[in-house]
Structure 1
Amino acid sequence: MGIPKWTIKGIVDDFDECGCCGRRGLKRTVALMPLDADGNEDGTAEDVVYYGTSCAATALGRTQGKVTDTARAAQAERDAYARRIISIYAPVEFAHVRDKARVYYRRNQHQRDTGVKATEVVAKLLAEARATLADTTTGPARPSRIEDFRRYLVILTSDRRIHLVRRVPRDEAKRQEQDTAAQRRADEIRGSVLVVAALDAEAAREVAHADDLTREWNTRAWQAAHVGSHTT
């Protein structure tokens, strides 16, 4: 089997013309990035082409349904990973080297004492994650700043498993009502309640499961980004 010529970047609805056959008025098109002879991406956003699902299926040797499902899943997975990386590491981006290293190595213990420099890896991970969310080949740029973080209430079970994640409401009365209900539920299951900041609920789960130092920097970054603001 030969090396594929394209990889799926996502699926969009703002390009209604197929870049292969020229058909117009399409409901959606598939964003395809060219690959080199080794199967690596060979280009930038300017090199992405937009094919209708039928032409994309032919180019990839798959069914239309498979191409559509793969495109949606690829985009969702890529964005979700980027949001998790930013939610974990953006708060320590300008932290002391020691704290940044502690946060990184606690999540990547297998790289400790291997010569991997945590500061360099964190900078690279953040750059790649921000580039992913800034990539407009599959739609508008997505939120990627600490200022875009939202607070999430997390209830943990007694063995530190996630029981519930809920977005903290903006309204003060609703927030207090949520706090009371969450604490009552936590008491019932002998668990605990955390409030963390993240780009989405799945990333909030990552922060909640992280170590105390990561959550400390998470809270500190949230507070610094929202000084004088009542936004949640």
Structure 2
Amino acid sequence: MRTPKWKIKGITDEFSECGCCGRRGLKRTVALMPLDADGNEDGTAEDVAYYGTSCAAAALGWTQASVTDSARAAQAERGLRDAYARRMISIYAPLELAPARDQARAYFSRNRNVRTPDLNATEEVARLLDRARATLSDTTTGPARPSRIEDFRRYLVIFTSDERIYRTVEVPQDEEERQQQAANARRRADQIRGSVVVVAALDEESAGDVAYSDPVTRAWNQKAWEASHA
């Protein structure tokens, strides 16, 4: 069977001109990564071609419907990878400021089943962060996404009495609104016999992960937020 020359990486509205036929004003284009003779990706985001669906179908030998379905599926997978990367950065980026013992305590608290004699928690944290930042800096189907501690936002998380998340809301910047939100949250937590935690994260979903983390992770999360907003 003939080895394909392209791999669909997603679909984007960042490029409105077909890189094959030159047609302009397209609502979206398909991102195509070139492949080598063995079918492996042969390039970076700068080497990606952006084709209209009809040209992409011709290049791949597929139907337009198959191209569209595959492009949407690839874009959805990217969304999942981005979400995972945001969680890893929200949890582990503040720990880069921590000593090795705190990094180990936090890492193994979250990964209890991976402890081995030769596993170095500091190296694992660095590896996770490198991969997460690479994911969010990829520009194949859109601009780079926020990935720095400076991009974190504060979230207020209300827990129920059985330690389930009841509600997560972004903390407003206005001081009066912030105080009112905190008072309302404490009142609601008292009503459900729960608790309130404030954490910093890249998004709401990641905030939940940070709120569920061990005390060491949350302590460095707070320190990182304060350091980045000093």
Q: Name the TM-score, length of structure 1 as normaliser.
A: 0.87
Letter in 2 for 1:198: A
Q: Report the counterpart of residue 120 of structure 1 in structure 2.
A: 123
Check if 1:174 corresponds to 2:162: no
Flag the 1:118–1:34 CA change in 2: closer, same or farther, 3 A.
farther
- Deviation, 1:37, is 6.5
Seen in structure 2, the aligned counterparts of structure 1 residues 117 and 55 have a Cα distance that, compared at 3 Å, is farther
Contact kept? 1:8, 1:70, Cα under 8 Å: no
1:80-130, Cα deviation, whole Å (9 max, x unpaired): 111111101100013111111111112112210252222112112111211
Identity, % of aligned positions? 66
Could you tell me which residue of structure 1 aligns to residue 135 of structure 2?
Answer: 132
How far does residue 55 in structure 1 lie from its aligned partner after superposition? 3.8
Query: Structure 1 pair 53/114, CA: closer, same or farther in 2 (3 Å)?
Result: farther
Question: Which residues of 2 match residues 70-149 of structure 1 at below 5 A?
Answer: 70-149=73-152
Match of residue 24 from structure 2: 24
Between Structure 1 and Structure 2, how many residues are aligned? 227
**Amino acid in the other structure paired with 1:12:** T
**Gap change, CA 1:175 and 1:38, over 3 Å in 2:** farther
Structure 1: runs of 5+ lacking an equivalent: 228-232
Runs of 4+ in 1 over 6 A off after TM superposition: 1-4
Q: Could you tell me how far apart the structure 1 residues matched to 2:115 and 2:182 are?
A: 39
Aligned to 2:202: 199
Which stretch shows the higher mean deviation, 214-223 or 184-193? 184-193
Pair 1:46–1:65, CA change in 2 (3 A): closer
Q: Work out which of the residue numbers 150, 154, 158 in structure 2 matches 1:151.
A: 154
**Counterpart for residue 15 of structure 2:** 15
